[in-house]
Amino acid sequence: MTFESLGLKSELLEAVQAKGYTQPSPIQEKAIPEILKGRDILASAQTGTGKTAGFTLPLLHKLSEQKVDGKRAIRALILTPTRELASQVYDSVRDYGANLNLKSTVIFGGVNQNPQVRTLKQGVDILVATPGRLLDLHNQKHIKLNKVEVLVLDEADRMLDMGFLRDIERIMKLMPKQRQNLMFSATFSKEIKKLAGGILNNAAQVEAAPENTTAERVDQLAYRVDKAEKTALLIKIIFDAEMEQVLIFTRTKYGANRLCQKLDKRGIKASAIHGNKSQNQRTAALKDFKAGKIKALVATDIAARGLDIPLLPHVINYELPNVPEDYVHRIGRTGRAGAAGLAISLVGADELGYLKDIEKLLKTQIPSKIEEGFEPQDEPTPKAKNSKQKPNRNKKRKPDPNSKKQRRKQVLGQKK
């Protein structure tokens, strides 16, 4: 199939060509015709499937077809959970719409609102926003949503995870009832289905790919390792596989910072991206990573959601997420656009339950491995039982930091 056959106007086809896309991705093939017909859609799609163009292209097509008299009004609202995703979606709207007479802007919290207000005053057709700042500026009467014709909820599952349900409900009340709704979500919990039921009308269901694609697209590997040995093993893996760039997930912001420091010390340039970092710091880290100035980007789940890092070959879970769906999101950062990816997880004894939950969700068993020299002591393996000797560690551990002591204590605690 070609983009031409989807019925998109020439200005959009030119923009798509400029991006170098030769053919629509599966989600684009399915979603674009439905959206052009005016239908609501409920799409199951992760980042990396081309979902942004999947809704942006038909949206731009439709809006540019309409004749508008008088001042520009917000006719399309795209809601995203995070600032990063909002910026990335906005970049797509701007790039794909470069040849059209449509204005767009993006608003999110954590930065001065004045420039955002100034742009809004000039009139925009398309607004990309995070829920909090949108409501803020609406309350201050800088935004009117009474002309919205198309609503996009991007990464709806993450919006609920982040506690935006109330905000979404409030925003719904500010828009005309008669409108087209496009909802995208990587996972479909009961809550998501309920939200969809309240918003969508006779929606076309669009799936990017069968559910188990993630497992097929991405090679997965789980290393059983003691908590206290994770950093040493991580460094070994990065060096052994000669990884050019790697995205590493931790469960906590504190853990992300600490790991960054340790990697830096070992000559692996690393930057953390999490909720405590300012917007500028997050953008700078992502930019440096994309430019290849940073080897390891260490992220927490919320901060990483929606990051657009094309063709990332490796993702490492330094810790497994306690929500199995987050694992799906994390490893969705690799193996995109048909290229093979590798997702490695470092699994401590206390995380075996999480691993089981993940395998249940994926309906597959993740191959498990024990690295020589890193045999876990926190749960005796047959090998460890035979020999009382400590495994021969490749990396000599320095004494100190307190944190390590703490980790050891935890591990010892589990032995009992």
Q: Which residues bind ligand AMP (CB under 6 A)?
A: 21, 24-25, 28, 47-53, 308, 310, 337
In the complex with ligand AMP, which residue's Cβ is closer, 49 or 181?
49
| Closer residue to ligand AMP in complex, CB, 18/241 | 18
Nearest approach, Cβ of 242 to ligand AMP (angstroms)? 24
Q: How far is the CB of 16 from ligand AMP (least distance, A)?
A: 7
Least Cβ distance, residue 313 to ligand AMP (angstroms) = 15
**SS3 state at 141:** coil
Which CB atom, from 154 or from 325, has the smaller least distance to ligand AMP? 154
List Cβ neighbours of 42 (8 Å cut-off, separation of 6 or more).
Answer: 183, 185, 196, 200, 203, 204, 205, 206
Query: In this structure, what is the dihedral angle of CA atoms 359, 247, 185, 328, given to the nearest 10 degrees?
Result: 0
Cα–Cα distance, 290 to 119 (Å, whole number): 28
How far is 231 from 237, CA to CA, in rounded Å? 10
Least Cβ distance, residue 229 to ligand AMP (angstroms): 35
Cα separation values, 69 from 127, 213, 410, Å:
19, 46, 67
CB of 17 to ligand AMP, least distance (A): 11
Instruction: Output 54 or 376, the one with its CB closest to ligand AMP.
Output: 54
Nearer to ligand AMP, 28 or 317 (CB): 28
| Residue type (1 letter), 284 | A
* Closer to ligand AMP by Cβ: residue 174 or 209: 209
Q: Kindly state the smallest distance separating residue 3's Cβ from ligand AMP, in Å.
A: 8
Closer by beta carbon to ligand AMP, 21 or else 254: 21
| Strand order across the 296-299 sheet | 270-273, 296-299, 246-249, 314-317, 341-347, 218-224, 368-369
Q: What's the min distance (Å) between Cβ of 79 and ligand AMP?
A: 15
Please report which residue ranges of 66-139 form alpha helices under DSSP H. Answer: 83-96, 114-121, 131-139
Yes or no: say if 200 and 340 are a contact pair by the CB < 8 Å rule: no
Lookup result for tokens 């009139």: 123
